[in-house]
């Protein structure tokens, strides 16, 4: 069952409404977080809530609820919705104000939590692999709006996704202003080459994903050499394997990038192993 928590009320999908004067709608003034439910438990709930509150702090917005209460309400909502496998979306907006930019006109931020499910790609895509293209639209410059803030300003990622769609691809690789690989439109990226698992470093200007961190942990525990570094498209084109990670995507292999077949052109043994280890981790 789809369930919405909206400023203290539990509502159905058709009954949950926000004001047209909410600055989250008018100006993208807000932050969000995506979470995944496995076996009735929210995966790394505390870590996601911490990032949500850090994002709010970074844009000078005080969430009108203690972190412990946010965790408790999330857990309650999962039970109310009867979710055993699901997807959650937490949204904190600046709240209702006027048509001006001044955040002081918004007396109280609004809290929205959506309890639902998600499926980005069909199951067979996790065997066949994804087709990607490099987007002409870059990520935000990290000194303009830090990509580590998971804000409601996702238009550049959407435009990159449009580029992928227009090219007949599943998703797009986004570069930073220096031309280094940052991330996909909503996922982090890993490359396997010469027995080393590499991922773009956070200083490249990307979102530090919770799933990304989990993959680094389980890969290191499994004995893989993992490094966070600067990567360019050559590193991706010549990889033995490559995959995307994210809360919604989980671990998704890459088959082709910009017309280049990656490795064997399907899920590789390292990707398969890490995906299996991740699936075991989420069951704990």
Q: Are strands 9-11 and 30-38 parallel, antiparallel or unpaired?
A: unpaired
- The count of C-alpha atoms lying within 13 angstroms of the C-alpha of 280, restricted to the half-sphere facing its C-beta, is 9
Of 116, 145, 180, which closes a domain?
116
Rg of the chain (C-alpha set): 19
Contact 256, 131 (CB under 8 A): yes
65 and 169 both lie in a single domain: no
Give the model's pLDDT for residue 263: 97
139 and 252 both lie in a single domain: yes
102 and 136 both lie in a single domain: no
Q: Please give the full DSSP string across 38-83, using - where no structure is assigned.
A: ETTEETTHHHHHHHHHHHHHHTT---SS-HHHHHHHHHHHHHHHT-
Which among 102, 31, 35 has a CA at the least distance from the CA of 62?
A: 31
Q: Which of 44-53, 164-173, 198-207, 257-266 has the lowest mean pLDDT?
A: 198-207
Give the model's pLDDT for residue 204: 61
Contact 137, 160 (CB under 8 A): yes
Give the model's pLDDT for residue 177: 87
Give the model's pLDDT for residue 145: 84
Cα-based angle 256, 228, 147 (whole degrees, multiple of 5): 80
175 and 65 both lie in a single domain: no
In the residue annotation, 266 being an active-site residue is answered as no
Q: Which whole number is the average pLDDT over 149-157?
A: 93
Separation of alpha carbons 246 and 149, rounded Å: 16
Which domain range does residue 99 map to? Answer: 3-116
29 and 145 both lie in a single domain: no
- DSSP state for residue 117 in the 8-state scheme: -
Whether residue 237 is predicted with pLDDT greater than 80 in this model: the reply is yes
For residue 262, give the CATH number of its domain.
Answer: 3.20.10.10
List 142's β-bridge partners, or say none: none
Of 58, 87, 116, which closes a domain?
116
Of 63, 91, 116, which closes a domain?
116
151 and 257 both lie in a single domain: yes
83 and 156 both lie in a single domain: no
Contact 172, 132 (CB under 8 A): yes
How many domains, the chain? 2
How far does CA 158 lie from the centroid of its chain? 13
Residue 284 binned pLDDT confidence (cut-offs 50, 70, 90): confident
* 3-state SS class at 250: strand
99 and 130 both lie in a single domain: no
Catalytic residue among 13, 41, 79, 150: 150
Give the model's pLDDT for residue 244: 98
């Amino acid at each position: 069952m789809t369930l919405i928590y909206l400023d203290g009320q539990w509502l159905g999908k058709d009954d949950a409404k926000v004001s047209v004067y909410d600055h989250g709608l008018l100006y993208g003034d807000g932050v969000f977080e995506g979470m995944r439910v496995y076996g009735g438990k929210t995966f790394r709930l505390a870590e996601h809530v911490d990032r949500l509150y850090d994002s709010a702090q970074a844009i000078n917005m005080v969430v009108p609820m203690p972190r412990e209460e946010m965790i408790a309400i999330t857990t309650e909502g999962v039970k109310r919705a009867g979710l055993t496998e699901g997807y959650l979306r937490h949204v904190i907006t600046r709240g209702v104000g006027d048509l001006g930019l001044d955040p002081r006109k918004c007396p109280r931020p609004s809290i929205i939590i959506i309890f639902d499910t998600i499926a980005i790609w069909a199951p067979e895509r996790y065997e066949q692999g994804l087709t990607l293209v490099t987007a002409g639209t870059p990520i935000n410059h990290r000194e303009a709006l830090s990509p580590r803030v998971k804000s409601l300003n996702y238009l550049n990622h959407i435009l990159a996704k449009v580029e992928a769609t227009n090219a007949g691809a599943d998703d797009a690789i986004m570069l930073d202003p220096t031309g280094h690989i940052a991330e996909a439109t909503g996922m982090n990226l890993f490359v396997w080459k010469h027995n080393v698992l590499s991922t773009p470093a956070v200083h490249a200007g990307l979102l530090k994903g919770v799933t990304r961190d989990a993959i680094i942990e389980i890969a290191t525990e499994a004995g893989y050499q993992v490094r966070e570094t600067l990567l360019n498209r050559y590193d991706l084109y010549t990889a033995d394997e490559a995959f995307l990670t994210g809360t919604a995507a989980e671990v998704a292999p890459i088959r082709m990038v910009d017309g280049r077949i990656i490795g064997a052109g399907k899920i590789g043994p390292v990707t398969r192993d890490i995906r299996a280890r991740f699936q075991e981790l989420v069951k704990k």
